[in-house]
Amino acid sequence: MLSISAEEFLIWKKKQLSRGGDQQSFAVLLDCVGGVSKSDINLITINPHGILHLKKKLEFLESVWDDHLLKSCPIQYLCGITFWRELKLKVTNKVLIPRPETELILDIVFNIFRRKSEKLFFAELGTGSGAISIALALAYPLSNGVATDIDQDALEIAIENFTNSSKQSNLKFYCGNWWSPLGNFKGKIDLAISNPPYIPKDTYEKLPKEVKNFEPKVALLGGEDGLKHIREIIQKAPLFLKEKGWLILENHFDQGEKVKKLLIKNKFTSIEIVKDLSGIGRFTIGRYK
Ligand SMILES: C[S@@+](CC[C@H](N)C(=O)[O-])C[C@H]1O[C@@H](n2cnc3c(N)ncnc32)[C@H](O)[C@@H]1O
């Protein structure tokens, strides 16, 4: 640990932020690499006369911040860590950085299944870092879940994140295309969730460089119209869901009505488009019959 005067640190912090970037990214850098939490910062802001302990030198933190600003590399990849709901997750460029708006998926589930003692069997398709299914496995400890991904490297990270987040063993991981690794669970799933790649091809080409140059294409691109994967997931869902089982999908900002039509066509009921905190119809949910 290195010691530095709080005053010196605060001046340095102000200088770094004046060069660009946002507070939230800087907070991730300080916490994950510097070992300085948000509450440490709050304390020294109130009392700047104390001493602060750092895990790394300011020069090193500055060099990581430089990489972030100059190359547009997401700070989460540079630090190897992201925060999502109550989880601290490892991330590499093999997995999408789980987004704050996706956190709402858990609230949708909590609204449907209100008892934490629920014994559900849930599936997450396209788990990436594992964020959604790990949060579910922790929130419903008597439930069991399965999480799939097409990318074995992503699954390895999800498995590591689950091991680091919990001593539970109620989540298993499978590699393969959407439902295909789940052949043993036909008709057994109470709840299936997916945040699949849903960006239309044209939009993908125009994504900001911090996304397009660093995040995995396989996690973002949803074919010509963005709905390629959503279509496949919905069409096969009836084989795997129990009667009255739920399907919860995240979609692009303007896809809600189209996803709703697909669900109706495939005999889903209780269909609803759920808005995110910006008022965007970000999730489409339904029950199989
Ligand atoms: C938008 S990311 C979501 C990751 C994570 N669930 C989240 O919300 O942060 C989509 C994930 O689907 C996976 N994926 C893409 N195509 C797939 C396929 N055909 N079958 C299974 N998973 C797939 C990607 O590897 C990626 O991890």
Distances (CA, A) of 80 to 8, 90, 97: 27, 6, 10
The pLDDT, as a whole number, for residue 289 is 87
For residues 105 and 112, what is the distance between their CA atoms, to the nearest angstrom? 11
Q: Please name the residue whose Cα sits nearest to atom 14 of ligand 1.
A: 126
Tens digits of residue pLDDT in 197-248 = 999 999 999 999 999 999 999 999 999 999 999 999 999 999 999 999 999 9
Question: Whose C-alpha lies nearest to ligand 1, atom 2?
Answer: 219
SS3 190: strand
* 93-288: in CATH 3.90.1150.200: no
Parse the chain into domains and list their residue ranges: 2-79, 93-288
pLDDT at residue number 270: 97
CA of 4 to the centre of ligand 1 (A): 43
Q: Are strands 241-250 and 189-194 parallel, antiparallel or unpaired?
A: parallel
Q: What residues does ligand 1 touch, defined as CB less than 6 Å away?
A: 95-96, 98, 102, 125-129, 131-132, 148-151, 154, 177-178, 195-197, 218-219
- CA-closest residue to ligand 1 atom 17: 150
Cα–Cα distance for residue pair 273/250, rounded to 1 Å: 10
Model pLDDT, residue 47 = 86
Tens-digit pLDDT profile for residues 46-81: 888 989 999 999 999 999 999 999 999 999 999 999
Is the pLDDT assigned to residue 134 strictly greater than 90?
A: yes
Per-residue pLDDT at 253 exceeds 90: yes
